[in-house]
Amino acid sequence: MYPLEISRTLNINEQRIYYHIRKLLKAGVIIPTRQEERKGAIARYYKKASTAFGVDLPIGYHSCGFQPFAGYEKVKIFFREFILEDGSLMDM
């Protein structure tokens, strides 16, 4: 889906969707795939940058055999804002 479709499907403000898309692009989690004209505007489509992602939480989680991909550090930085000081995840 393109951002407006996501906004309508999730019943979330379109600007909030764009905010998160920009963050995901900057972190290297998603990449643009195509664009097309829709109702006089350009609709951009995105896809995931990798087949799988893992999040290295600060406490209590161990991974084995995980090979970080090129944008791994950017992804870790992206997820930091969702982790509380005690290492637990923020409620969404």
Position 28 scores a pLDDT of 86
| 13 CB-near residues (< 8 Å, 6+ apart) | 7
- What is the pTM for the complete model shown? 0.55
- Residue 59 corresponds to which tokens in the numbers above? 């406490």
What are the extents of the domains in the chain? 3-80
Q: In whole angstroms, what is the distance from residue 91 CA to residue 83 CA?
A: 9
Position 34 scores a pLDDT of 92
Position 52 scores a pLDDT of 76
| CATH architecture, range 3-80 | Orthogonal Bundle (1.10)
